[in-house]
Structure 1
Amino acid sequence: MTDLVLEATGLTKNYASTRALAGVDLNVRRGESLAIMGASGSGKTTLLHVLAGIVAPDAGAVRFTPASGVPIDVTGGTESVRSRLRRERFGFVFQQGLLIPELTAIENIALAVMINGTGRRDATEHAAGWMASLGLAGMEERRIGELSGGQAQRVAIARAQVTGAELIFADEPTGALDSQTSADVMNALLWSTTGQGRTLVVVTHDADVAARCSRTVSVRDGRIVNAEVSA
């Protein structure tokens, strides 16, 4: 089985006259934590969205190889294929969490597996297990507005993991948090991804967050300009 979980070649993406990606090649190894850094407008978020099948590139290809070892063409597949990848194989954590405020914490998490056909009782039990593992036991019935920023992000992390996703994409997951809460959220994110044999790709502007990852690439003007392994 290949040690590459994602292989991206020649990714190009334009928005009107703006070139967001200019021929990006990038490999992501299974079980690593990869930080993508860059200034605002550098193309780092577009790169993450293309890797995750959220946005289609104008040119280039992304191939995902799951643990089963059968490669899946992310960019060349149908929207149905990409949607299924996002539901079952990929997990997502965003800066603001994008949680549903009308639902409780445990309902937000359970919904991710209920969408894939799991019954409410089993989904809720699974969600409760993730909440406990991330230090959220006792907060199951709180709505999102009743949680702190760090607690809400851990709910988002649990939601990303509850489906058994092999690859987690995180876009500025600590961007709205203070330094101590940011460190706590990164602890939870790394423990629940690479700590469990999964793979993490995180977009960040925070050098401290990037330093926690096993590898960092820098993006400028839609190109990867530097890559390094963290100490």
Structure 2
Amino acid sequence: MTPILTARGLTVQYPGSATPALDAVDIDVLPGESVAIMGASGSGKTTLLHTLAGILRPTAGTVTLAAASGPVAVHALDDAGRARLRREELGFVFQQGLLLDELTALENVAVARMLAGVPRHQAEGEAAQWLAHLGLQGMEHRRLGQLSGGQAQRVAIARAQVTGARLIFADEPTGALDSTTGAEVLDLLLAAVAQGRTLVVVTHDPGVAARADRVVTLRDGRVVADERRAARAGGSGGGEAVHRVATVRGGQVEHTTVAAPYDEARR
């Protein structure tokens, strides 16, 4: 299977630092898998996510995205090109959501489509559908201060998916939530994977990592472990990833079943 994202020799050296934040990292991300990036504070996990996602330009190395229009050398894009890539190809969910306080839930989701040139009425219609799908029907016109932490993260997940992005990056998406709400948010992210999207999530929570298809562990800017679920579970699948297929209705995951890995034939 052709990776959706490939990094080779990825190095990030911050000015004034004696050691690199990332040190010649190689990683492939396959379509339809969920990848958890773990490591101690300062290990380079958030730097890796930001570099893979085109938020940060590497000091050295390459990042290639298999975009809908063809391969894109993310590392070689200028600021405008990386901004366009993030807007059109990628979805993001962060620990604090990074939503706009002055906008309603509906507007926060719709703006992602409006930036792509979609008329406001169409963008808001699509946003309303996603909010309803994630259990926020009736809350479309609430501002962030009127939403709980879990509800705000659902808005962020809706925003990440409304553009049709095939690849979602999440940085500690459950870190500011209680365990129950965090599990619900993770259910929704994994449901997106079951529907054909790819997820790369930075987490310090072993419970989050345990539900990912694959766990990549960093130490001092280097990959020190890369395990797939079947191998970690002692299975005989040759390391092949499997994942849950989740049925979501009204923002709740009703049941899950185990599915084979996503491939292009299922798109």
TM-score, normalised to structure 1, is 0.96
Q: What's 1:215 paired with?
A: 214
- Aligned residue number for residue 146 of structure 2: 146
Deviation at 1:79, TM superposition (A): 2.3
- Structure 2 residue runs of 5 or longer lacking an equivalent are 234-267
Q: Percent identity?
A: 63
How far apart are residue 66 of structure 1 and its match? 2.2
- Which structure 1 segments of 5+ residues have no match? none
* CA–CA separation in structure 1 for the residues paired with 2:223 and 2:164: 30
The residue aligned with 2:202 is 203
Distance 2:136 2:189 in 1: 14
Helix, strand or coil: the match of 1:75?
A: helix
Q: TM-score, normalised by structure 2?
A: 0.83
- Structure with higher Rg: it is 2
- Provide the residue aligned with 1:74 in structure 2: 74
Q: Secondary structure at the match of 2:227?
A: strand
Give, in angstroms, the shift of residue 78 of structure 1. Answer: 2.5
Q: Which has the higher contact order (CA 8 A, sep 6+)?
A: 1
Structure 1 distance, partners of 2:55, 2:209, is: 23
TM-aligned CA deviation for residue 195 of structure 1: 1.8
Q: CA deviation at 1:80?
A: 2.4
Distance in 2 (alpha carbons) for counterparts of 1:123 and 1:11: 36
1:171-191 deviation digits (Å, cap 9, x = unpaired): 000000111111000011111
Alignment of 1:34-183 (within 5 A): 34-68=35-69, 70-183=70-183
Greater mean alpha carbon deviation, residues 24-33 or residues 59-68? 59-68
**Cα offset, 1:3, TM superposition:** 2.5
What's the counterpart of residue 11 of structure 1?
A: 10
Q: CA deviation at 1:67?
A: 4.1
What corresponds to 1:228 in structure 2? 227
Aligned-partner SS, 1:27: strand
- After TM superposition, the runs of 4+ consecutive aligned structure 1 residues lying more than 4 A away are none
Deviation at 1:14, TM superposition (A): 1.1
Q: Which amino acid aligns with 1:73?
A: A
Deviation per CA, 1:103-151: give whole Å up to 9, x if none: 1100100011101101110000000010011111111011111111100
Deviation at 1:219, TM superposition (A): 0.4
Paired letter, 2:143: R
Deviations 1:30-60 (A, max 9, x none): 1100000011100000000000011011100
Q: 2:241 corresponds to which residue?
A: none
The aligned counterpart of 2:190 is 190
Q: Within 2, Cα distance between the matches of 1:211 and 1:85?
A: 30
